[in-house]
Amino acid sequence: MSQTKKRPEEMLPLTPAVFHILLALADGEKHGYAIMQEVEAISQGTVNMGPGTLYGSIKRMLKAGLIKETDDRPDPEMDHQQRRYYQLSDFGERVLKAEAFRLTSVVRAIQRKNILGGI
């Protein structure tokens, strides 16, 4: 089934790696190393994504239509020619929003049950 015929909710729950990669790409295209740095920053250092996890996830995400490789390149003087850049696809953006909504619902349940003791 093509990703355009799938509903975003059918992709949920996302693996932590896929979620963090989508989140890292939410504000624009990035190359692999920049994605790894953004994931570390977003997670405040709690998620360290190695190249194997990153590029294995990217390969699956490309196939699923969650992200796409971009043809745009920054100034060649400022960038390595072989670097690949990725961005969210429209479907990937919808999946990220669906997962964010799902996680927000979980956080609300945690707050209602006072799991964290008012923190």
| 79-96 pLDDT, tens digit each | 566 789 999 999 999 999
- Binning pLDDT at 50, 70 and 90, where does residue 119 land? low
8 A C-beta contact, residue 86 and residue 30: yes
Q: Is 90 exposed, middle or buried (0-12, 13-18, 19+ CB in 10 A)?
A: exposed
Q: pLDDT (tens digit, 9 = 90+) per residue, 18-67?
A: 999 999 999 999 999 999 999 999 999 999 999 999 999 999 999 999 99
Q: What are phi and psi of 46, to 5 degrees?
A: -85, -20
Residue 39 main-chain phi, psi, to 5 deg: -60, -45
Q: Which domains does the chain have, with CATH numbers?
A: 12-75+82-112 (1.10.10.10)
